[in-house]
């Protein structure tokens, strides 16, 4: 293909299983990219997007190899290049910006030396001019005071600055193609906006082509002009950004878009049922990969694998693509229906401040005040109410949650549960009743479920601990709770490692529910999940709230999720409440400048 920078034809990547059969992780991907084009690669975790990105650089993870197809970058195939050429190519004409810049910068090297290293490898500049070039690179990524910055170590920079340095390093070799692997995932929303702006400017000015991998369509649509949707190792839809988002042709794209919560939406996001098939789990030679989860599937979808066809200026792999354009959003998506009346107060927090400083003799003598992580926090949660706690990292959200859970002692102020229990005590010295009434659900279910216990053991433990029920009664309650969180009873005997991310999070929620709590503390419980799964967790929380009049404290950095879910919202910045009130009021008519800037960063 002439004129294209990168062309991929029918590329398949996979591994050989124990019976030495080839299992495809990526199958027959067609893609081409011209200079100056920006392509976003979207898909759920495990769909093969990172594998594809690495393959473009000629890198295959251990065990993976190319099963077939053709990959050309500027007329050459990185997969068969000699090692020396490949070294020049990587970081030179093609540069990768990784997910976590903090970890990709060498911690013991000053920024200056890291940039020099990149320049020495990938530019022809004489070493006398390197410093000057560094200045212009840092200027390019909009970092102020380059002279000072070059002398620093990576840990002396903020996350956003680190990511900018990583971008500057990538730009050092004046690449023709930038590969980005979720470069803003670990950043705060306001920082993310700046990095995305920067990327957009760079591509506009230098005509650098870009492939941007992300699970977040919002981020992608802010930067890219083309979007490719991947599902189970296949490219199911590829087209212009606006076309694809406004009018998706593949049912999966449609489902994915419907599952994203948006601000000021009056309907709940719709979850995609089922799970993405794992590589080698099923044979998709004679059927569509999406057939199991597709709500439009016809008999033909189970008999023939759809070829890639061109429908209204885009590539789609679906038998029904031409009809699909006319389909409306999935019918029956529930309206958001927020209760307005709540009964008694469950949690009352007054003038709370927390400090990590420990009391010490010197402090007592000098009378020096400890540094406070949060200060003057006041809010109430009533029965059946969901309170959203939003703020960027370091705003004190998690500290607050830990304090309520009794894992951190407050410095001053009062916390009362049901106007009955004083929550200033640490969890060990609280009454058993009080311990039972507050339950915590963590961000990452991989870490919060013990991998060596079965689902049944995990769920039975709180029942045994709080109620001391008989084995028979426990068994019954475990069954009940599994049904309530929409999981099959057969999961009792499974280990967490045998469940998907969404299922694990359901178990974590179920573990909190079996204690029959009055208050559930949720720490970013949807942020480790794929969007299609996130929607179902949101729905579950709303249903549980309604069924048992639970009070939920929902900590999140995702304003759209809070908008959909919460009744009240508290905006935290640097440990202080900037604004609080009903979600509908705060998010549509924010008073505080910080809330406004947060809202402006929502993509």
Minimum distance of another protein from residue 465's CB (angstroms): 6
Task: Look up residue 335 and give its DSSP letter.
Answer: B
**Of positions 105, 377, 415, 449, contacts another protein by CB under 8 A:** 449
Q: Is 448 in the site for another protein (CB under 8 A)?
A: yes
Quick one: which segment of 3-11, 189-197, 451-459, 485-493 binds another protein (CB under 8 A)? 451-459
Q: Is 125 in the site for another protein (CB under 8 A)?
A: no
**448 versus 536: smaller Cβ distance to another protein:** 448
What residue ranges in 38-124 does DSSP mark as E strands?
Answer: 38-42, 65-73, 94-97
**Of positions 103, 113, 420, 450, contacts another protein by CB under 8 A:** 450
Quick one: which segment of 197-205, 209-217, 246-254, 426-434 binds another protein (CB under 8 A)? 426-434
Task: Look up residue 492 and give its DSSP letter.
Answer: G
Quick one: which segment of 16-24, 98-106, 241-249, 433-441 binds another protein (CB under 8 A)? 433-441
User: Cα separation of 547 and 460, whole Å?
Assistant: 21
CA Rg, the chain, in Å? Answer: 26
Residue 338 · residue 266 · CB < 8 Å: no
Minimum distance of another protein from residue 417's CB (angstroms): 14
Minimum distance of another protein from residue 297's CB (angstroms): 38
Q: Is 501 in the site for another protein (CB under 8 A)?
A: no
Q: Is 427 in the site for another protein (CB under 8 A)?
A: yes
Place of tokens 């969180």: 485
What residue ranges in 397-473 does DSSP mark as E strands?
Answer: 410-417, 421-422, 438-441
Quick one: which segment of 221-229, 262-270, 390-398, 428-436 binds another protein (CB under 8 A)? 428-436
H helical segments located in 14-65: 49-56
**456 versus 563: smaller Cβ distance to another protein:** 456
Task: Look up residue 426 and give its DSSP letter.
Answer: -
Minimum distance of another protein from residue 432's CB (angstroms): 7
H helical segments located in 307-355: 321-324
Q: Which residues of 367-388 are buried (b: 16+ CB within 10 A; e: fewer)?
A: eeeeebbbbebebbbbbbbbbb
Minimum distance of another protein from residue 498's CB (angstroms): 11
**Of positions 461, 494, 516, 585, contacts another protein by CB under 8 A:** 461
User: Cα separation of 575 and 273, whole Å?
Assistant: 39
Number of residues that bind another protein (CB under 8 A): 27
**195 versus 508: smaller Cβ distance to another protein:** 508
Residues facing 15 on adjacent strands: 23
Of residues 508 through 567, those in contact with another protein by CB under 8 A are 511, 515
Place of tokens 């996979």: 14
Q: Is 444 in the site for another protein (CB under 8 A)?
A: yes
Minimum distance of another protein from residue 434's CB (angstroms): 9
**114 versus 439: smaller Cβ distance to another protein:** 439
**525 versus 570: smaller Cβ distance to another protein:** 525
CB contact set of 418 (below 8 Å; sequence gap of 6+): 344, 345, 346, 437, 518
**Of positions 226, 430, 504, 539, contacts another protein by CB under 8 A:** 430
**276 versus 435: smaller Cβ distance to another protein:** 435
Residue 139 · residue 146 · CB < 8 Å: yes
Q: Is 353 in the site for another protein (CB under 8 A)?
A: no
Residue 564 · residue 155 · CB < 8 Å: no
Q: Is 428 in the site for another protein (CB under 8 A)?
A: yes
Q: Is 447 in the site for another protein (CB under 8 A)?
A: yes
Q: Is 442 in the site for another protein (CB under 8 A)?
A: yes
Minimum distance of another protein from residue 554's CB (angstroms): 17
Output phi, psi for 221, to 5 deg: -70, -15
**Of positions 129, 432, 593, 600, contacts another protein by CB under 8 A:** 432
**60 versus 495: smaller Cβ distance to another protein:** 495
**442 versus 587: smaller Cβ distance to another protein:** 442
Residue 165 · residue 111 · CB < 8 Å: yes
Minimum distance of another protein from residue 466's CB (angstroms): 8
User: Cα separation of 337 and 594, whole Å?
Assistant: 28
**Of positions 324, 352, 386, 440, contacts another protein by CB under 8 A:** 440
Of residues 384 through 413, those in contact with another protein by CB under 8 A are 405-407
CB contact set of 71 (below 8 Å; sequence gap of 6+): 6, 7, 8, 9, 11, 55, 56, 77, 78, 79
Q: Is 462 in the site for another protein (CB under 8 A)?
A: yes
Of residues 479 through 498, those in contact with another protein by CB under 8 A are 495
Give the DSSP H or E segment for 25. strand 22-34
**286 versus 452: smaller Cβ distance to another protein:** 452
Place of tokens 């008073």: 591
- Structure tokens that stand for 373 in this block: 């992580």
Residue 229 · residue 290 · CB < 8 Å: no
Quick one: which segment of 345-353, 413-421, 443-451, 535-543 binds another protein (CB under 8 A)? 443-451
**192 versus 443: smaller Cβ distance to another protein:** 443
Task: Look up residue 574 and give its DSSP letter.
Answer: T
Residue 458, classed as helix, strand or coil, is helix
Give the DSSP H or E segment for 178. strand 177-181
User: Cα separation of 179 and 539, whole Å?
Assistant: 35
Residues that bind another protein (CB under 8 A): 405-407, 427-428, 430, 432, 435-436, 439-440, 442-444, 447-453, 461-462, 465, 495, 511, 515
């Amino acid at each position: 293909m002439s004129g294209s920078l990168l062309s991929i034809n029918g590329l398949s990547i996979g591994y050989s299983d124990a019976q030495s059969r080839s299992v495809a992780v990526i199958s027959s991907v067609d893609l081409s990219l011209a200079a100056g084009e920006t392509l976003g690669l979207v898909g759920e975790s495990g769909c093969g997007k990172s594998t594809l990105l690495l393959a473009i650089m000629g890198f295959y993870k251990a065990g993976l190899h190319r099963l077939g197809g053709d990959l050309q970058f500027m007329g050459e195939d990185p997969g068969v290049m000699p090692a020396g050429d490949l070294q020049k190519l990587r970081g030179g004409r093609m540069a990768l910006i990784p997910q976590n810049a903090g970890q990709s910068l060498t911690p013991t090297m000053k920024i200056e030396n890291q940039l020099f290293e990149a320049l020495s490898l990938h530019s022809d500049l004489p070493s006398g001019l390197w410093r000057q070039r560094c200045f212009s690179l840092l200027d390019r990524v909009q970092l102020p005071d380059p002279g000072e910055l070059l002398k620093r170590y990576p840990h002396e920079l903020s996350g956003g600055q680190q990511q900018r340095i990583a971008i500057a390093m990538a730009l050092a070799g004046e690449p023709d193609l930038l590969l980005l692997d979720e470069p803003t995932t670990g950043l705060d929303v306001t920082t993310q906006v700046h990095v995305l702006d920067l990327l957009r400017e760079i591509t506009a000015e230098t005509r650098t082509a870009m492939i941007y991998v992300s699970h977040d369509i919002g981020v992608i649509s802010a930067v890219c002009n083309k979007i490719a949707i991947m599902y189970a190792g296949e490219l199911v839809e590829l087209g212009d950004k606006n076309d694809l988002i406004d009018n998706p042709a593949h049912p999966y794209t449609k489902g994915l878009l419907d599952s994203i919560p948006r601000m000021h939406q009056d309907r709940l996001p719709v979850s995609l049922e089922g799970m993405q098939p794992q590589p080698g789990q099923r044979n998709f030679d004679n059927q569509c990969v999406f057939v199991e989860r597709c709500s439009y599937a016809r008999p033909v979808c189970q008999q023939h694998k759809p070829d890639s066809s061109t429908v209204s200026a885009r590539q789609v792999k679906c038998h029904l693509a031409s009809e699909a354009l006319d389909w409306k959003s999935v019918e029956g998506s529930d309206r958001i229906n927020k209760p307005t009346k709540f009964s008694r107060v469950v949690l009352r927090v007054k003038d709370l401040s927390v400090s990590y400083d420990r009391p010490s003799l010197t402090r007592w003598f000098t009378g020096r005040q400890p540094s406070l992580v949060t200060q003057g926090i006041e809010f109430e949660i009533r029965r059946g109410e969901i309170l959203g706690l939003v703020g960027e990292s370091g705003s004190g959200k998690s500290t607050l949650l830990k304090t309520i859970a009794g894992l951190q002692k407050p410095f001053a102020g009062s916390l009362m549960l049901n106007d009955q229990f004083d929550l200033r005590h640490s969890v060990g010295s609280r009454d058993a009743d009080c311990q039972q009434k507050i339950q915590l659900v963590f961000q990452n279910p991989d870490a919060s479920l013990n991998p060596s216990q079965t689902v049944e053991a995990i769920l039975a433990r709180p029942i045994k601990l709080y109620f001391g029920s008989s084995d028979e009664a426990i068994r019954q309650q475990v069954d009940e709770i599994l049904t309530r969180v929409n999981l099959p009873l057969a999961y009792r005997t499974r280990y967490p490692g045998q469940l998907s991310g969404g299922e694990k999070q359901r178990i974590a929620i179920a573990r909190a529910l079996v204690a029959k709590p009055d208050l559930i503390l949720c720490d970013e419980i949807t942020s480790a999940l794929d969007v299609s799964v996130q929607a179902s967790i949101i729905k579950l929380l709303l249903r549980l709230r309604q069924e048992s009049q639970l009070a939920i404290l929902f900590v999140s950095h995702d304003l759209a999720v809070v908008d959909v879910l919460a009744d009240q919202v508290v905006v935290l910045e640097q440990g202080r409440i900037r604004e609080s009130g009903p979600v509908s009021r705060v998010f549509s008519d924010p008073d505080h400048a910080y809330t406004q800037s947060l809202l402006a960063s929502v993509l």
